[in-house]
């Protein structure tokens, strides 16, 4: 039987493959983005700020760490979490980033590698949006190669002393707790550094022209003394932080599809109403070709995200598959955003429309959580068995 109606933004009827619960969660996040993000985000982006109250609202919505079990987290499926990421990033990549860093990096690190005391202390407050977390892996001299990190932790009696710098850290200056990765005599270990600890400060990075509705900071650790209980007991090597990255990259697979959908929607709206040479520009073949190519990318990205979501829910998703999703969907979103920007003519560079904001944001998304080159080499390594990083 033919479906009752045809939805241009869901060309392949991906909706029909979702469960009722998944659709309900998706719809709730979509409404939140429509009411609480879209009317304001252009201004936040222009002013390079993020109202911190939004974190509590996201907590109330139940999406902070929603895919984790217990400790105040909702315990939803990975697919439902992905749908939330898609809707958030259709609003703005910065909002999805906030949620990714909170749930998939900071909370996930504590949930996966933390002690029972650490989980009880932080996770319920983080799920409620009462405490923000950040995740410090990148440093001024080590980005793609986190194994070269210099930040160190040494034992001093029962305590640890941390020294070093972390760079480009999302949520850094608003975080109540920073998950900081450091080299020790026993390998790379993770530490929970509460805001206000002596010797620890966060300084915002200014002059960003991308992800402006998101806080990005440098973390400075000058001989920060921490008790033994601050160390995450379960993470004993670089595998600790890298396992967290899979989670956040998975969210980006979905989020990128959302940014792309928002750009397609803007291009469809604009091209069917903008009249040149006596006709809506959508009536010219060259513009229809662009719209068709954009719709193809948006739908392909969404189908890929749903497929990876189902694999993750079945416990079968592999890191190299996440790499393919992140690489493919972010590149697709960039292509869609660039085409949409041109279709909007001069309005394509104005923050009155969402497209240039998405395009600028995606330049961060293609770099963080593993650059396009890094994911290309992960895929190449999986195909050939040859490591081309060194």
* Positions marked active-site: 369
Q: Which stretch binds ligand FAD (CB under 6 A): 82-90, 137-145, 262-270, 322-330?
A: 137-145
C-beta of residue 338 within 8 angstroms of C-beta of residue 366:
no
Binding residues with ligand TGC: total (CB under 6 A): 25
| Binding of residue 211 to ligand FAD (CB under 6 A) | yes
Do β-strands 275-276 and 152-156 pair in parallel, antiparallel, or remain unpaired? Answer: unpaired
Decide whether 272 or 376 has the Cβ nearer to ligand FAD: 376
C-beta of residue 112 within 8 angstroms of C-beta of residue 247:
no
Q: Which stretch binds ligand TGC (CB under 6 A): 43-51, 109-117, 132-140, 265-273?
A: 132-140
Q: Which stretch binds ligand FAD (CB under 6 A): 39-47, 219-227, 331-339, 367-375?
A: 367-375
What DSSP element (H or E) covers 75?
none
Burial-class residue 244 by CB neighbours within 10 Å (0-12, 13-18, 19+): buried
The distance of closest approach from Cβ of residue 295 to ligand TGC in the complex, given in angstroms and rounded to an integer, is 26
| Binding of residue 144 to ligand FAD (CB under 6 A) | yes
Residue 297, classed as helix, strand or coil, is helix
* Pattern 86-115, ligand TGC, x by CB under 6 A: -----------x--xx--------------
Q: Name which of ligand TGC, ligand FAD, none residue 242 binds, using a CB cut-off of 5 to 8 Å depending on partner kind.
A: ligand TGC
| Binding of residue 150 to ligand TGC (CB under 6 A) | no
C-beta of residue 190 within 8 angstroms of C-beta of residue 231:
yes
**Contacts (Cβ under 8 Å, ≥6 apart) of 293:** 335, 339
Site residues for ligand TGC, 225-254, by CB under 6 A, read 237-239, 242-243, 245-246, 248
Q: Among residues 113, 168, 250, 254, which is the contact residue for ligand FAD, using CB under 6 A?
A: 168
What DSSP element (H or E) covers 39?
none
Residue 240, classed as helix, strand or coil, is helix
Q: Among residues 152, 319, 363, 372, which is the contact residue for ligand TGC, using CB under 6 A?
A: 319
Burial-class residue 181 by CB neighbours within 10 Å (0-12, 13-18, 19+): buried
Residue 313, classed as helix, strand or coil, is helix
Contact residues: ligand FAD, CB under 6 A: 101, 135-138, 143-144, 168-170, 211, 216, 364, 367-369, 371, 373-374, 377, 389
């Amino acid at each position: 039987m033919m479906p009752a109606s045809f939805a241009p933004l869901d060309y392949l009827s991906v909706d029909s493959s979702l469960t009722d619960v998944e659709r309900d969660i998706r719809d709730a996040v979509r409404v939140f983005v429509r009411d609480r993000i879209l009317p304001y985000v252009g201004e936040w982006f222009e002013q390079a700020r993020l109202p911190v109250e939004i974190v509590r609202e996201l907590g109330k919505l139940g999406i902070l760490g929603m895919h984790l079990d217990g400790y105040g987290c909702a315990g939803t499926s990975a697919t439902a979490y992905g749908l939330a990421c898609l809707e958030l990033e259709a609003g703005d990549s910065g909002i999805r980033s906030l949620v990714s860093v909170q749930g998939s990096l900071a909370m996930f690190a504590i949930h996966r590698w933390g002690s029972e005391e650490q989980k009880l202390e932080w996770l319920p407050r983080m799920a409620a949006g009462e405490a923000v977390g950040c995740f410090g892996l990148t440093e001024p001299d080590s980005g793609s190669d986190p194994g070269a990190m210099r930040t160190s932790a040494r034992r001093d009696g029962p305590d640890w002393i941390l020294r070093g710098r972390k760079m480009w850290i999302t949520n850094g200056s608003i975080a109540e707790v920073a998950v900081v990765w450091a080299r020790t005599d026993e390998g790379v270990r993770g530490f929970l550094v509460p805001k206000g600890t002596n010797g620890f400060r966060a300084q915002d990075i200014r002059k960003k022209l991308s992800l402006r509705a998101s806080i990005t900071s440098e973390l400075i650790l000058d001989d920060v003394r921490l008790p033994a209980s601050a160390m995450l007991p379960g993470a004993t090597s670089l595998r600790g932080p890298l396992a967290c990255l899979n989670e956040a990259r998975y969210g980006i697979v979905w989020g990128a599809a959302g940014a792309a959908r928002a750009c397609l929607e803007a291009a469809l709206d604009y091209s069917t109403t903008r009249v040149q040479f006596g006709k809506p520009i959508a009536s010219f073949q060259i513009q229809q070709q662009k719209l068709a190519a954009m719709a193809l990318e948006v739908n392909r990205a969404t189908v890929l995200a749903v497929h990876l979501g189902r694999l993750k829910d079945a416990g079968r998703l592999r890191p190299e598959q996440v790499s393919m999703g992140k690489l493919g969907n972010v590149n697709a979103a960039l292509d869609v955003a660039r085409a949409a920007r041109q279709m909007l003519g001069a309005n394509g560079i104005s923050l009155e429309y969402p497209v240039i904001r998405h395009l600028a944001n995606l330049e961060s998304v293609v770099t963080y959580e593993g650059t396009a080159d890094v994911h290309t080499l992960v895929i190449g390594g999986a195909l050939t068995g040859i490591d081309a990083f060194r």
